[in-house]
Structure 1
Amino acid sequence: MTLEEVFEDKKNIVYATIQYQFGSFPQARKVAEMNHMELEDLIQIGLLTLWEVCVKFHAKKLKYFNAYASQAIKWKICDELHTKGRLIRVGKHVSYEDRN
């Protein structure tokens, strides 16, 4: 199988991982919005991570691919939520010019 075929065949891992991690897609959407993102952003992160896993993974170990990809997607989504979800708070005493 080519990389593209593996990627297309395993896209469902992204959706299954998001659903498993958050319980449901509405809950995933809610968590994403709380972290200033959209559900589509989480899906895109998952797809990019899946592509990276497809490139790195050895064809001989294809039977372990699902677990490996699922774990990588889960950690990457958590990392992005942590990074993008941070708000930078600026105190009242900081001037308008310094804020921008």
Structure 2
Amino acid sequence: MTENCNECSIAWIRGGEYAEVSAHNGSKMKGRVLKLAEQHPEDVKILVTNKDGSIFAHVPVKYVKLRAPRELTEEQRTELIERGKNMSRNKSTDYEETSDFDSGDDNEEMFTF
């Protein structure tokens, strides 16, 4: 990638097993790919980390998913904010009682755009 490039791309060939992901330094996509590489090292391979911090990786095609953003009413938004606050409060008070949770869902971590 060239210096100061802000391009991210995902490409794959129909019927192929993996998609090629190119993501610039500081991008949300780069963060997602790095997280997936930690969680699924057998599936997600970081092939190159460039001098500018950008990466080039291979991820399984099944990890690529496009979706429209959620459209919420003001009431739904308020409810979600309140639910998040409650979860945050509960987490800070009950953190000793929690255990690691593995849902067993292979599709739990996916790219969503």
TM-score where L is the length of structure 2: 0.26
TM-score, normalized by length of structure 1? 0.29
